[in-house]
Structure 1
Amino acid sequence: MGGHLAELDSYCVINIDTRVIELNGSKIILRPKTFELLVLLAKAPGKVISKAQILESVWPDSVVEEQVIFQSINEIRKEFDSSEIIKTFPKKGYAWSCPNTTIVSEQFATKPKNSITPIFSFSKSTLVAVTASVTLIIASLYFFFGTPKPVQEVTSLTAENRQEQAFHNASKNHEGVVILPFNVSLLQDSEKWLRYGAMQGVIDQIQPVQGITLFQLEDVIEIVNRLSLDERKDISNIFDKSGASIVLDTKISGVPGDYNIVFSVYTPRSVDTKSLNVKDINEGISLLAQEFNQVTSPVTSINTESMDSKLRDSLIAKAISLLEENNPESALGFLQSALASDKANLYVHYLYSKVALNLGKIDLALESSKSALELNLEGDKAKYHNRLLFVFATASFIQKNYDIAEQTLQKAALESEMSKDWLYFSYTHSMLGKLHQYRSNYDDAKDYFDSALKYQELLKCPMGVAQTNLDLAEFYIVQDKIELAKSSIEISASLIKEHNLIDSKSDLSAIKSKLK
């Protein structure tokens, strides 16, 4: 923040090359468009600039509403800690009200009439006396220490030049940060708004840090629009077009209740990729902002533990990317490597067991989930315990260990309910429905299937609703209730077609074949 404005006693120096502003000795950084608006006003202190002039000068090639002006004006007032730094003239425009404003550049410098006055002033006779004194001091230094440095190196910098030099030095370490629109191509259509919604959510939660400028959403869109579709595939082009030194690229996949967020932090010389698994998007946005706040905070040291963590995170992120590409076999190998670097990580155990189960490697899924459950971790480290119980129970069910499967599913359901993991609460009830269906306990089975469907509908997950309806269809076929089975199949088929649920198409065909 710039500190309270002291009206006529205040001075402001704006460096149009480094984009650093100094108000009474405090540095201020603004986002690019807001900075351009500030310069436009500050070039003519006291002059009223209309909204039309501002839009034409600051946003010449963009179709924007006047609201963007209001937002930028408010941002300047907030950073300068003064509502009077820019005066509003209703129906006319805005005017800069700090007359002691200097605009500097490496090419030129302009000063308004009421510029900063020198701190000291001398008469001619005093100047002669001072010059004589300085000459005597220099001669003394020469006698004791040898040839001194040229006098101009010591005396030529004015207060203004020193300020400009300080700003130039500070700008060397200044960093611009670009958070790109999120890749949401693997999400359902109703969640595609997260491309910009989640992006804005992260921007809003990034903590301001001295020496770092965070580009706002409209700035990033403007930068991206400068690139062709092919150019956007190469992150280096973002650095070239924006001048940023840090770029965040994020991809979201999964279903409601089980989202994977893979994000990469790029600098011109490196890339660091990590992943997050969350139940809802708001949780993911908060965690992503926390992770990114650590990136922009000063790093004190790098130890072996942090290097191991970096390796594990990159292995997990690669595994998730391979799963998205429908390559579970390769993903399993990366997860195995991640487990080797952190055997107490329940999330990696859960992913590894789940992938093994989906690949039909039942013994491996049983073994890995069992060893993870034996770790007896507590607190946040036990976050995926309920999901591991589900994997272990499902593998046990497939191996026809029905009693163990039921006991474990009951535990999984209870833990899922306590942690409000409604997705796996639903999955667990579906499995309990199948178990009771196998035992011909049809009333209990129906209750579990209905409960599973209820929570899938609560989550608004098309995949989950479609799959549970297929479970119900199979349940009705076993009891020879063909019309009810057809009704459930019809609901499922409609969802699969509407949302292009490729993974459910083979299950739909299999259930349909049982009707013949």
Structure 2
Amino acid sequence: MAKDNATPVYFDDATGTLVFANERIELRPKTYAVAKFLAAHPQQVCSKEAIMNAAWENSIVEDQAVFQSINEIRRKFAPTAVIQTYPRRGYAWLIPTSSQHAIQSQSQTQAAIKRSTPQWLLLSVLVAVLMGSVAIGWFSFVGNGEKPSRLQEGPRFKATEHQALMVLPTDTAALTNDDRGLGFGAMQTVIERLPNESNRTIFQASDVLDIMDRKPVAEPADYFAVSGATQIISSELNGVPGEYSLLFTVWHSDGTQRHGVLHGGTIEQVINDYTEALMLQLFGELTRPHRGASSLLTSTLTHRAMTLLAQGETQTAIPYLESAVLEHPEEPMQRFLLARTHLHLGQAESALPHIEAGLTALDALPPQPLRGRLLYLKGVALMGNNLPAASHFLGAAQEAAEAQQDWLYHAYAKAMQGQVLIQQQRFSDAEPLLAESLRYQQLLNCPLGIAQGHLDYFDFYFAQGNTEKAQEQLQLAEQMVLERNLVIVKQLIADYKNKLSKS
């Protein structure tokens, strides 16, 4: 019989169980009391305090007990929605109750057997049941002592541990102001896509926010004490349109952690991959074919490095990226991250070997945006001592990025080609490239790219001695930095101001 919200539930106080859609549901005594209390007030919002007073009268318990009981009820009734959460207010029972026992066929069959069975057979069955009960009681009693050895051979079956997963909102503090509200949407997307099965409960978004409101914590693992979760998933998103990174951690109640790092051109892409990665890591199953994954150690090392980079600890991040490359040398993404970090520190000679290794690794893979990005890094690395070669690889990067519709690095490559031409004092050739690059950044609505575009124009005018127009471009860049709170560009703005003041 299909379960739906119109099917009534029967509370059997004699056995402490429920009957729903011809199936008997067993609950722990306190959970049964919670369910009965809520069902006695259908469609009414009952506060946690009222639930605790009803089910745990004269006892002092934590809110966690209510969350555990609510999750147990939801798991037992899945996929039927039986309880609605109202954040910061309480819970409401959604399905009707019945005063009649729902399993009629079973009771009728038992009655028929009783009427037709000879008394001596009933007596023999009763004796067998009693003897079995005595035997079970003895073995249970002895099993709680020090012996016997025959019971220490191990259980005949292993119960599956119930999972209770709590997905926290994605931390978007590193994004620009316009995108910071996406963290709750990302959480809801992941919650909706993770499978909620009989041995698994996914905390609903309203429950997560309720738990978070109750107690501020130092780190995600602190929520174990107040939620009843067995796994807690935290994540943080950083980057710009066209180049996002999502770092996530699965915290287990036994104190262990597992990390992951994902990259993508859009927020939607990394959130989709986030769900996929969680499916693989938590359940060993996927909703769609997986595109490949790094080893656990590589993911952990990269996660640590990306965290340090986000904190501005660039030099400290390098050993972790180097270790990730050693652990997974054929992975071009690790090479790209390490090369880009070296270039950020002005270490072009250290970056070049990883760029070449990354390009070689890509030769065996289908075309992907990473090729254009590595070619771009190679062009940037060569700008210090070989401008013609730098121009060649930046042009190749632009073509590769365009072929893969990687418009962010298409714009980056154009801007850097313009910088090469500025150094060569070919200003009439540089200006169209700078203009087109800035236009692409504006179309991408990338605040960081737009600010950098204005700083490129500062270099263009400053190299020609036009300090007035250079200052105008610097002001436009600073305005973007202030409007979008681009913390990582503030020091660069200060350097440009210093350069202007010395001219």
TM-score range (shorter-chain normalised) is 0.7 to 0.9
Q: What are structure 1's unaligned runs of at least 5 residues?
A: 62-74, 83-92, 100-111, 140-146, 155-168, 300-305
Gap change, CA 1:78 and 1:472, over 3 Å in 2 = same
Q: Which residue does the alignment assign to 1:462?
A: 447
Q: Note if contact 2:332-2:362 (Cα within 8 Å) is conserved in structure 1.
A: no
Matches within 5 A, 1:1-150: 3=2, 23-25=21-23, 42-43=39-40, 49=42, 54-57=44-47, 79-80=79-80, 96-97=95-96, 99=98, 112-114=99-101, 116-117=103-104, 118=107, 119-121=109-111, 126=117, 128-134=119-125, 138=128, 149-150=132-133
Q: 1 CA distance for matches of 2:303 and 2:12?
A: 43
| Residue 207, structure 1, aligned to residue 192, structure 2 | no
Q: Which residue does the alignment assign to 1:158?
A: none
How far apart are residue 438 of structure 1 and its match? Answer: 2.1
Q: Note if contact 2:375-2:394 (Cα within 8 Å) is conserved in structure 1.
A: yes
Q: How many positions carry a matched residue from both structures?
A: 435
Q: Note if contact 1:320-1:331 (Cα within 8 Å) is conserved in structure 2.
A: yes
Q: Which residue does the alignment assign to 1:325?
A: 311
How big is each residue's C-alpha offset from its partner over 1:258-304, in whole Å with a ceiling of 9 and x where there is no partner? 222110001112110111122111111100011111233258xxxxx
How far apart are residue 249 of structure 1 and its match? Answer: 0.8
Q: What are structure 2's unaligned runs of at least 5 residues?
A: 52-74, 83-91, 138-156, 286-291
RMSD (Å) for aligned C-alpha atoms: 4.0
Q: 2:347 aligns with which of 361, 382, 397?
A: 361
Q: 2 CA distance for matches of 1:360 and 1:308?
A: 28
Q: 1 CA distance for matches of 2:422 and 2:225?
A: 61
TM-score, normalized by length of structure 1? Answer: 0.73
Gap change, CA 1:151 and 1:59, over 3 Å in 2 = closer
Gap change, CA 1:284 and 1:94, over 3 Å in 2 = closer
Q: 1 CA distance for matches of 2:220 and 2:173?
A: 18
| Residue 175, structure 1, aligned to residue 166, structure 2 | no
Q: Note if contact 2:169-2:184 (Cα within 8 Å) is conserved in structure 1.
A: yes
Q: Note if contact 2:3-2:80 (Cα within 8 Å) is conserved in structure 1.
A: yes
Gap change, CA 1:372 and 1:287, over 3 Å in 2 = same
Q: 2 CA distance for matches of 1:459 and 1:36?
A: 56
Q: 2 CA distance for matches of 1:263 and 1:248?
A: 7
Q: 2:374 aligns with which of 367, 388, 409?
A: 388
Pick which of 474-483 and 404-413 moved more.
474-483
How far apart are residue 192 of structure 1 and its match? Answer: 1.2
Q: 2 CA distance for matches of 1:150 and 1:489?
A: 86
Q: Note if contact 1:312-1:342 (Cα within 8 Å) is conserved in structure 2.
A: yes
The one-letter code of the counterpart of 1:175 is: Q
How far apart are residue 454 of structure 1 and its match? Answer: 0.9
Q: Which residue does the alignment assign to 1:254?
A: 239
Q: 1 CA distance for matches of 2:188 and 2:462?
A: 48
Q: Secondary structure at the match of 2:225?
A: helix
Gap change, CA 1:511 and 1:217, over 3 Å in 2 = same
How far apart are residue 26 of structure 1 and its match? Answer: 8.9
| Residue 335, structure 1, aligned to residue 321, structure 2 | yes
TM-score, normalized by length of structure 2? Answer: 0.75
Q: 1 CA distance for matches of 2:377 and 2:394?
A: 9
Q: 1:225 aligns with which of 210, 213, 219?
A: 213
Q: 2 CA distance for matches of 1:285 and 1:21?
A: 40
How far apart are residue 23 of structure 1 and its match? Answer: 3.8
Q: Secondary structure at the match of 1:469?
A: helix
Gap change, CA 1:489 and 1:262, over 3 Å in 2 = same
Gap change, CA 1:273 and 1:95, over 3 Å in 2 = closer
How far apart are residue 20 of structure 1 and its match? Answer: 9.7
Q: Secondary structure at the match of 1:491?
A: helix
Gap change, CA 1:334 and 1:7, over 3 Å in 2 = closer
Gap change, CA 1:131 and 1:344, over 3 Å in 2 = same
Q: Secondary structure at the match of 2:410?
A: helix
Q: 1 CA distance for matches of 2:410 and 2:184?
A: 31
Q: Note if contact 2:175-2:237 (Cα within 8 Å) is conserved in structure 1.
A: yes
How big is each residue's C-alpha offset from its partner over 1:88-115, in whole Å with a ceiling of 9 and x where there is no partner? xxxxx9984452xxxxxxxxxxxx4445
Q: Secondary structure at the match of 1:210?
A: coil
Q: 2 CA distance for matches of 1:480 and 1:492?
A: 19
